[in-house]
Structures are given as structure tokens and as C-alpha cells.
Amino acid sequence: MTFQPALPSPAGFGPRRPGYLRQSNLPAELGPDPRATLECFVDLGLSDAEIARYFHIEAVRLAPLTATLRGPAS
């Protein structure tokens, strides 16, 4: 087995190692970087329902994750 260094991470999220997703509660359907994936879809203006439909997961699984990205409700 070869050594794999920590992957670069966004500021404030700490280093990530390959396979980190298995230890989190983020849906694996969102890919290798679920936070970046959600940030992209939220920035595009998609609702939780639209994102959930795209990834074939329930919107209730996304609501707590996207709430922090969307900020306080206006």
C-alpha cells in the first residue's frame, strides 16, 4: 500500500484523508466532496427539493446540510 497524503481542504474544515466520507453523515451520493457539491448547487439557486431530485435522495436529508450554506432565512 502506498502512502496517500491528506487532501487539501477548504479553510476551517481540517485535513481530509481518502475515505473520510465513510465516517460522516453526508450522503455518499453527493460524491467525493459533498460540501463543495452542495455549495455549487446552492449557489446556482436550486432548492433542496431540486437538489434531492437530481441525486435521487430525500430532501429531508439535505435540509440540515444546506441550511448552513444558505445562511439565515430572510
The verdict on residue 61 lying in a domain is yes
51 by Cβ neighbours in 10 Å (0-12 / 13-18 / 19+) ranks as: buried
At how many degrees (to 10) do helices 59-70 and 34-43 cross?
A: 70
Q: For residue 35, what are the domain limits? A: 29-70
Q: How many domains does the chain have?
A: 1
The verdict on residue 55 lying in a domain is yes
What is the greatest pairwise CA distance in the chain? Answer: 51
The verdict on residue 9 lying in a domain is no
The verdict on residue 33 lying in a domain is yes
pTM to 2 decimal places: 0.62
Tens digit of pLDDT at every position of the chain (74 positions): 555 555 555 544 555 544 444 435 677 888 888 889 999 999 999 999 999 999 999 999 888 888 888 877 65
